[in-house]
Amino acid sequence: MTNNAGTSVDVIIAGAGIVGAAFAALLGRAGISIALIEATAAEPDKDKSVADPRVLAITRASEKILRKINIWDRIAGNRIGCFREMHVWDENGHGQIHFDSAAICESTLGYIIESRLIQDSLHAALSNMDTIKWYRPARPVLLEKYDDSVVLGLDDGRRLRSRLIVAADGSNSAVRELAGITLDSHDYRQSALVSVVTTEKPHGDIARQRFLSYGPLAFLPMAEPSRCGIVWSTRPEHAAELMNMDMGRFHLELESAFAGTLGRIISSGTRASFPLRRAQAEHYCQHRLALIGDSAHSVHPLAGQGVNLGLLDAATLAEIMIEARLKGRDAGAYSVLRRYERWRKGENYRMMMIFEGLKYLFESEACPVRWLRNTGMDIMDSVPVLKEWIMVQAMGLAGDLPASARGLS
Ligand SMILES: Cc1cc2nc3c(=O)[nH]c(=O)nc-3n(C[C@H](O)[C@H](O)[C@H](O)COP(=O)(O)OP(=O)(O)OC[C@H]3O[C@@H](n4cnc5c(N)ncnc54)[C@H](O)[C@@H]3O)c2cc1C
């Protein structure tokens, strides 16, 4: 069955977060026409001097993808922190691990960047592409699939038609729901509180994470020597308490939870809190539809990998689609999209389970587990080969990567 209603484009993308916007840029530069739908309105008058409370650890693989779409230099010219070392330790014991990029002859293990800075840079790059047409603010409300096309109805009454729709509309994806794809989800009963703080002592380009009984507290080094983004995963009630604390008390709580490692907390910015869950969509694709980024999966932020996995989804799907087009194949056909699902779903699940294992290992109060993790950390810290393997994983350079994540054209 066919349908000819609505404006026609090659691909419809729902969601212009980091993953959707990067995917649009990868396709747009290959000459593929795109309708990009974003629920939020543009904010041209936003004060860019105020730090975004959300900072992201960005892997070397993601750097390569962002370089491929020519936005890395735009980001790097701004507030970007590098971490050369990583220090992880346990509140309840002596165990600790120290990773150093010098051990694998790399200048850095990764970057710390404000989420908004990456997103704004991507949006600026997209606004210069003739292949991209924005629909903003708009939300999908209707999805009709036919053999040779898909029709998406927006809440403003417009209708769009293409051979493929890609959902990049985040963990509560409306497109995933319209397509009837279920989500296997587990509530961690934790919330992550984020903010940007200034500390008495400089961070020295070291990413630090202290595992507390209720979850990890990370201090992520930003561009300025005494500025860190913090991610504090804890019980939802505790996160709510921290959100409502006056600044003085919040600083004291934070200093104490971090055992004064970076001295006093001098100042802090806006606080925000996010409920945490692990989730994986039952399917990453159907005929004429694919899910990427958080619409397909959500992971615990303790390893700072969510957006990095999403960028790998985007780069993989773009590579498969561009190759299909070059061969004259229908890039929205299930047989083509299934290759994407086979490539990414298992890999994302593997990473998800590693983070889950780490989470439970570090949060368990049982004496044998506590002993095991402290001893395990000490052993790991003394085995260079093991540490090198972990560093390569954390840099996103392991596994079956799409060409753009390997720095190939
Ligand atoms: C506390 C915390 C810390 C984190 N730290 C890291 C880290 O250090 N490193 C890392 O890699 N990851 C990290 N993550 C994970 C990361 O934030 C997410 O994986 C990432 O934001 C997902 O990007 P996305 O583009 O897929 O989805 P989103 O960022 O959720 O973007 C979705 C976009 O779609 C739009 N949208 C939503 N609904 C609709 C709709 N119905 N119609 C149209 N548009 C819609 C939204 O407005 C948004 O622009 C962290 C997460 C949390 C909670």
Q: What's the pLDDT tens digit per position in 263-319? A: 999 999 999 999 999 999 999 999 999 999 999 999 988 888 999 999 999 999 999
Range 140-146 average pLDDT: 96
Say what the pLDDT of residue 365 is.
Answer: 67
Say what the pLDDT of residue 94 is.
Answer: 74
Name the superfamily (CATH) of residues 7-43+50-185+277-406: FAD/NAD(P)-binding domain (3.50.50.60)
- Percent of the chain residues past pLDDT 90, beyond the cut: 73
Which residue owns the Cα nearest ligand 1 atom 49?
17
Half-sphere exposure of 270 (CA within 13 A, CB side): 8
- Determine the residue of 160, 169, 280, 311 to mutate for testing ligand 1's pocket, defined as the one with the most ligand atoms within 8 A of the Cβ atom: 169
State whether the beta carbon of 168 lies less than 6 angstroms from ligand 1: yes
Neighbour-count burial of 187, counting CB atoms closer than 10 A to its CB (0-12 exposed, 13-18 middle, 19+ buried)? exposed
Neighbour-count burial of 8, counting CB atoms closer than 10 A to its CB (0-12 exposed, 13-18 middle, 19+ buried)? middle
Range 114-119 average pLDDT: 94
User: What would the pLDDT profile of 306-355 be if each residue is shown by its tens digit?
Assistant: 999 999 999 999 999 999 999 999 999 999 999 999 999 999 998 888 87
Say what the pLDDT of residue 355 is.
Answer: 77
User: What would the pLDDT profile of 1-59 be if each residue is shown by its tens digit?
Assistant: 455 567 899 999 999 999 999 999 999 999 999 999 999 998 766 766 667 889 999 99
Domain ranges, ordered by start, for the chain = 7-43+50-185+277-406
Closest listed residue to residue 182, CA positions, set 291, 341, 43, 20: 291
C-alpha 82/C-alpha 205 separation (Å) is 6
* Cα-based torsion angle of the residue sequence 364, 366, 369, 375 in order, rounded to the nearest 10 degrees: 100
Say what the pLDDT of residue 394 is.
Answer: 84
Instruction: Categorize the per-residue pLDDT at 380 as very low, low, confident or very high, splitting at 50, 70 and 90.
Output: confident
Asked if 396 and 304 count as a contact pair (C-beta separation under 8 A), the reply is no
State whether the beta carbon of 141 lies less than 6 angstroms from ligand 1: no
Which residue owns the Cα nearest ligand 1 atom 20?
307
State whether the beta carbon of 134 lies less than 6 angstroms from ligand 1: no
Specify the ligand 1 atom closest to the Cα of 172.
Answer: 38
C-alpha 235/C-alpha 217 separation (Å) is 12
Q: Is the confidence at residue 364, as pLDDT, over 60?
A: yes
Range 372-380 average pLDDT: 74
C-alpha 120/C-alpha 278 separation (Å) is 27
Asked if 395 and 59 count as a contact pair (C-beta separation under 8 A), the reply is yes
- Give the chain's length: 409
Specify the ligand 1 atom closest to the Cα of 139.
Answer: 42
Q: Is the confidence at residue 225, as pLDDT, over 90?
A: yes
State whether the beta carbon of 140 lies less than 6 angstroms from ligand 1: yes
Give the Å distance between the CA of 17 and the centre of ligand 1.
6
State whether the beta carbon of 240 lies less than 6 angstroms from ligand 1: no
Residue with the larger pLDDT of the pair 61 and 355: 61
Say what the pLDDT of residue 126 is.
Answer: 96
How high does pLDDT run on average in the chain? Answer: 92
Range 142-163 average pLDDT: 96
Say what the pLDDT of residue 139 is.
Answer: 98
Compute CA 396 distance to the chain's CA centroid, rounded to the nearest angstrom: 12
State whether the beta carbon of 52 lies less than 6 angstroms from ligand 1: no
Asked if 340 and 316 count as a contact pair (C-beta separation under 8 A), the reply is yes
Helix (H, G, I), strand (E, B) or coil at 113: strand
State whether the beta carbon of 154 lies less than 6 angstroms from ligand 1: no
C-alpha 173/C-alpha 153 separation (Å) is 15
User: What would the pLDDT profile of 383-394 be if each residue is shown by its tens digit?
Assistant: 788 888 888 888
Give the Å distance between the CA of 170 and the centre of ligand 1.
5
- Determine the residue of 294, 299, 305, 313 to mutate for testing ligand 1's pocket, defined as the one with the most ligand atoms within 8 A of the Cβ atom: 294
State whether the beta carbon of 169 lies less than 6 angstroms from ligand 1: yes
